[in-house]
Structures are given as structure tokens and as C-alpha cells.
């Protein structure tokens, strides 16, 4: 569709393609409008008429006749049946009868309810039993869990108590300081890939060098 | 046949419209012409029909009076085409003079409630003829 495509351009350009008759293209619909005459290619077309073969048409007629008769009789029978039902309902509709019918229904309903109540009590008992078992299992599990936790905590406390012996407190802080000064430890050394210590600490060596320099 | 429940529904058009068309909420006159016909449900490429009772003059998308069966034209995994009928209600509606549409007549015929519809016989003998033609062509070739 050229018209739609060029409509935006046409507002700015002096040469308007939209109004140029050469570029106008009509939309083609799927169907011929009602007001147009028969297409020239279809004017002399005669639609083919389907004809039933003679024997088939006779058979068709016979079947249809039978069918109609049967249906009519069936229909009449059903209509009569419905009418009779209606009549019976009207005739039997005394209050006493209705009451009796209601009582009968009530009795049936009662028996059904009893059956279902039995099933329900059984089911609830089973469910309760299952629940009781589950709760007992849960309690056991909980006790076990708590026991384990207790053990872990006790172990931790023991470890800490053992470690507390070597803690530096207010009483032994002077001794600790003296010990530290007396035994200077340097961690400034090399290790190889296996973690083995290689040579002395660098700090020591440096101090040695300084001492040597100072001595002479 | 305006029952009490129907009267109640009639009072509340909003509720009636909220219900699905097959809920039996269609309004009807007692002595109007009824028809038992297929009511297309399902979706694109999946046809499914309900067999319903409606007023004969009403278009197919309006609320129905009652659903009396189903018809699934697509074969299931056991290659069965499933049809169900509520014969008791169909008897009742035919007894009240309801008309029956052709496809439903065919289904009723095949189900044994009604005599076999003539069109079913015709379809059968035509299918047999085409089959015979195919066989002769195969033999000659």
C-alpha cells in the first residue's frame, strides 16, 4: 500500500505521492460486494446438480417413511407417559402421603448418616493413633538432639577450662613480660613449599650485621 | 415448567449471568417450542459439545434450559468417541413436545434410544461403496 507508506512524507515534500493517481492502489476484499453483478467469468456457469440414483432414492424414501412412523409413535408414547406421571402426581398428592414419603426419605437419610458416622469414627481413631505415634517419635528425637547438644557444650567447656590454665592474668602478668623479654622469638623466617623452616630469622641476621659493624 | 429454583434465579439477573450458559439458567415460556440440540463448547481446534434443551427460537450462545448430555467428537486415546445422555430428562422433554436437531437424532439413533436415523444408513452404504471402489482399484493395479 503506497498511500499509507508515503502519507507522512507528503506533509513536508512538495511532490505529493498520495494525490498522484498513478500511485493509488485500491484495497481488494476477499468477497465480491453484493451490489456488483456476476463476474464475467461466472456468467455462463451452471452449478452441477447432485442427483440421487433411482434405487438409492427409493431406499431413502422407505427409510424416512419408516423412521417418521416410528418416531411419531414413540413421541406419542412419551407424551402419554409424561401426562400419566403428572396425573399420578396430582392424584397422590395428599398431605398424609407426602408426610409418609418425607418420613421414608428421612429414615433412609438417617441410616446413611449412621453408616458414614461409623466410618468417620474409625477414620478419626486411626488418625489419632498415627498422630500419637508421631508425637512420641518426635519427643524421642528431641531428647536425643538435646543430649547431643549437651555433650558438645560440655566438651567445649572442658577445652576452655584446660586453656584457661595458661591465660595471662593480673597476678602473673609481670612474670609473663619478663619471660617474653628473656626469650625473644622471631617468626621472620623463610619456609619451603613443604612448610620446613629454612635458616635463621632475618631479623637476627640483620642485628648480627649491625653488631659486627659497631664492634670495630 | 418454571420450577421454584428457576423463579429465584429469575429474580437475580446478575447471578444468572455469572453462571455458565450450561447451568440451566435460560429463561423460557412454558408453552414455547423447545429443541434438544448440540451446544458447542471447547476451544480452538478442540470441539466439544453439550447436548442441551433450549427454546427453539433462541440463538445457540444464550443460556440453556437444561443440559441433558455431552458429545466429544474427537476420539480419545482408546480411539473411542464419547457420548453421554440423561435419558430420563430426554424422555421428559420429548414428552413435553421438544424438537430434536438432526445431529442429536443421529446420536440418539446410534445409542439405541431412538430408531437409527436414515442418514446414518446412507453414510454407511456410501462409505461401503467407496471402500469397494478402492479395493477394485488396488486389485486392478
pLDDT in tens, B20-71: 656 777 888 988 999 999 999 889 999 999 999 999 998 877 888 999 999 9
Give the CA angle between residues B40, B43, B47 to the nearest 5°. 50
Out of A22-26, A112-116, B93-97, which region has the weakest mean confidence (pLDDT)? A22-26
Contact between residue B70 and residue B51 where contact means Cβ atoms under 8 Å apart: yes
List the single best residue of B30, B36, B88, B94 to mutate versus A (max A Cβ within 10 A). B94
Examine residue A59 and state whether it is found in any structural domain, yes or no: no
Position B77 in a domain: yes
The predicted model gives A67-88 an average pLDDT of: 94
Q: How many CB atoms lie within 10 A of CB B62?
A: 13
In a domain, A142, yes or no: no
**A200 found inside a domain:** yes
Percent pLDDT > 90 in chain B is: 69
Instruction: Provide the residue range defining the domain that includes B28.
Output: 4-101
Residue B14 is assigned to a structural domain of this protein: yes
Tell me what ipTM this predicted complex has.
0.83
Structural domain including A190 reads 150-206
The 3-state DSSP class for residue A138 equals helix
pLDDT at A28: 64
pLDDT tens, B93-139? Answer: 999 999 999 999 999 999 999 999 999 999 999 999 999 999 999 99
Question: Looking at residue B34, which CATH number applies to its domain?
Answer: 3.30.1320.10
CB-based contacts of B76: which residues, under 8 Å, 6+ apart?
B82
For residue B121, being part of any structural domain is answered with no
> Which residues in chain A have their CB less than 8 angstroms from residue B115's CB?
66-67, 70-71, 74
pLDDT of residue A89: 80
- Model-level pTM greater than 0.80? no
Tell me if B126 is assigned to some domain. no
Nearest-angstrom CA–CA distance, B37 and B42: 16
Sign, CA torsion A161/A165/A167/A172: positive
DSSP assignment string, A86-151? HHHHHHT--HHHHHHHHHHHHHHHHHHHHHHHHHHHHHHHHHHHHHHHHHHHHHHHHHHHHHHHHH
Distance CA B34, CA B64 (A): 10
Q: Report how many domains make up chain B.
A: 1
Query: Does residue A39 fall inside a structural domain?
Result: no
Are B55 and B75 within 8 A, CB to CB?
Answer: no
Residue B91 to residue A79: CA distance in whole angstroms: 9
Whether residue A176 is contained in a domain is answered as: yes
**Of residues B141 and B139, which shows the higher confidence score?**
B139
Helix (H, G, I), strand (E, B) or coil at A198: strand
Domain contains A170 = yes
Would residue B81 count as lying in a domain?
yes
Indicate the number of domains in chain A.
1
Question: Is A138 domain-assigned?
Answer: no
Distance of residue B93 Cα from the nearest chain A Cα, in angstroms: 9
Q: Does B96 touch chain A if contact means CB atoms closer than 8 Å?
A: yes
Cell of A30: 476477499
Task: Find chain A residues with C-beta within 8 A of B125's C-beta.
Answer: 56
Amino acid at each position: 500500500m503506497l498511500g499509507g507508506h508515503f502519507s507522512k512524507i507528503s506533509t513536508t515534500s512538495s511532490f505529493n505521492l498520495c494525490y498522484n493517481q498513478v500511485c493509488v492502489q485500491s484495497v481488494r476484499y476477499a468477497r465480491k460486494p453484493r451490489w456488483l453483478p456476476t463476474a464475467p467469468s461466472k456468467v455462463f456457469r451452471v452449478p452441477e446438480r447432485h442427483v440421487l440414483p433411482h434405487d438409492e432414492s427409493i431406499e431413502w424414501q422407505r427409510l424416512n417413511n419408516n423412521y417418521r412412523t416410528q418416531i411419531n409413535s414413540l413421541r406419542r408414547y412419551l407424551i402419554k407417559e409424561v401426562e400419566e406421571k403428572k396425573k399420578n402426581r396430582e392424584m397422590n398428592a395428599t398431605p398424609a402421603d407426602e408426610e409418609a414419603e418425607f418420613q421414608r426419605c428421612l429414615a433412609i437419610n438417617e441410616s446413611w448418616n449412621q453408616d458414614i458416622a461409623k466410618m468417620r469414627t474409625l477414620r478419626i481413631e486411626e488418625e489419632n493413633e498415627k498422630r500419637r505415634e508421631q508425637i512420641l517419635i518426635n519427643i524421642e528425637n528431641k531428647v536425643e538432639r538435646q543430649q547431643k547438644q549437651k555433650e558438645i557444650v560440655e566438651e567445649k567447656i572442658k577445652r576452655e577450662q584446660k586453656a584457661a590454665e595458661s591465660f595471662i592474668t593480673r597476678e602473673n602478668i609481670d612474670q609473663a613480660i619478663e619471660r617474653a623479654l628473656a626469650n625473644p622469638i622471631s617468626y621472620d623466617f623463610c619456609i619451603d613449599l613443604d612448610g620446613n623452616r629454612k635458616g635463621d630469622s632475618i631479623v637476627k641476621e640483620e642485628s648480627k650485621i649491625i653488631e659486627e659493624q659497631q664492634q670495630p | 415448567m418454571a420450577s421454584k429454583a428457576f423463579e429465584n434465579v429469575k429474580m437475580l439477573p446478575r447471578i444468572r449471568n455469572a453462571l455458565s450458559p450450561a447451568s440451566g439458567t435460560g429463561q423460557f415460556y412454558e408453552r414455547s417450542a423447545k429443541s434438544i440440540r448440540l451446544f458447542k463448547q471447547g476451544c480452538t481446534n478442540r470441539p466439544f459439545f453439550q447436548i442441551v434443551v433450549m427454546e427453539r427460537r433462541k440463538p445457540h450462545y444464550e443460556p440453556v434450559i437444561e443440559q441433558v448430555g455431552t458429545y466429544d467428537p474427537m476420539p480419545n486415546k482408546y480411539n473411542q468417541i464419547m457420548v453421554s445422555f440423561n435419558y430420563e430428562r430426554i424422555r421428559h422433554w420429548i414428552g413435553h413436545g421438544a424438537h430434536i436437531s438432526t445431529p442429536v437424532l443421529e446420536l440418539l439413533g446410534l445409542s439405541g434410544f431412538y430408531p437409527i436415523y436414515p442418514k446414518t444408513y446412507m453414510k454407511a452404504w456410501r462409505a461401503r461403496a467407496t471402500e469397494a471402489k478402492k479395493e477394485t482399484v488396488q486389485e486392478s493395479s
